[in-house]
């Protein structure tokens, strides 16, 4: 049942966005950039579940191994999201990256992106840091990523349909809180 629920949670936002009438006025690069963002958000939901061994049939070791690969894919999707938006509207991306965009969702997206990059760098430095320090820093950055992502997504009026968007945000928030409140490993 958990796998079925996870499959629905990950696919429903993509299916709903693919049916958005707003796509009719967008070019393929912009559409791909938007879907890269939706895929990244779905991958973000998997991360705390994988890292803490909470998926049935997946051992803690397997989960952490997949967590690393999903994290790399997550960073790639965010980069694709930003590059696609850059290609379609460089001034908007520059304004967002310089924190001078008039849209508040841009600020949260950029904060989440930089925290994600920081988390990725931290993951590469894991063996150089004490485990307790590394875990606290990684979980802290991950929490900033999740919070920033949720605030980014909720404020956007775009192709993501509201019900699936809110549900995915709630699940992402719940999974992150679960890791903080009831750590397993």
Q: What is the mean pLDDT of residues 108-122?
A: 97
pLDDT for 180 equals 85
Give the list of residues 6+ apart from residue 119 with CB closer than 8 angstroms, or none.
71, 138, 141, 142, 145
pLDDT band at 79 (very low <50, low <70, confident <90, very high): very high
DSSP conformational letter for 35: H
Look at residue 185 and tell me whether its pLDDT is greater than 60: no
Q: What is the rounded distance in angstroms from the CA atom of residue 100 to the CA atom of residue 177? A: 31
Look at residue 166 and tell me whether its pLDDT is greater than 80: yes
Would you call 24 exposed, middle or buried from its count of C-beta atoms within 10 A (0-12, 13-18, 19+)?
Answer: exposed
Among 70, 51, 29, 28, smallest CA distance to 180 is for 51
pLDDT higher at 53 or 79: 79
The secondary structure of 45-92 as a DSSP string is: HHHHHHHTT-STT--HHHHHHHHHHHHHHHHHHHHHHHHHHHHH-HHH
Average pLDDT value for the chain: 95
pLDDT for 123 equals 94
Q: What is the rounded distance in angstroms from the CA atom of residue 147 to the CA atom of residue 32? A: 24
Percent of the chain with pLDDT over 70: 98
| pLDDT tens sequence across 20-45 | 999 998 999 999 999 999 999 999 99
Q: What is the mean pLDDT of residues 107-112?
A: 97
Would you call 28 exposed, middle or buried from its count of C-beta atoms within 10 A (0-12, 13-18, 19+)?
Answer: exposed
């Amino acid at each position: 049942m958990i796998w079925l629920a996870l499959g629905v949670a990950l696919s429903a936002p993509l299916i709903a966005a693919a049916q958005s009438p707003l796509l009719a006025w967008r070019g393929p690069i912009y559409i791909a950039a938007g879907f890269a963002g939706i895929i990244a958000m779905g991958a973000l939901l998997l991360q705390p579940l994988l890292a803490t061994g909470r998926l049935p049939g997946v051992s803690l070791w397997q989960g952490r191994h997949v967590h690393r690969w999903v994290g790399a894919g997550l960073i790639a999707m965010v980069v694709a999201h930003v590059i696609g938006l850059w290609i379609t509207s460089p001034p908007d991306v520059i304004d967002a990256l310089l924190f001078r965009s008039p849209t508040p969702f841009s600020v949260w997206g950029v904060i989440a992106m930089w925290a994600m990059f920081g988390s990725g760098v931290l993951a590469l430095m894991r063996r150089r840091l004490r485990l307790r320090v590394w875990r606290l820093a990684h979980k802290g950055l991950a929490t900033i990523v999740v919070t920033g992502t949720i605030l980014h997504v909720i404020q956007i009026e775009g192709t993501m349909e509201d019900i699936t968007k809110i549900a995915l945000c709630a699940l992402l928030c719940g999974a992150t809180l679960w890791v903080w409140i009831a750590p397993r490993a």
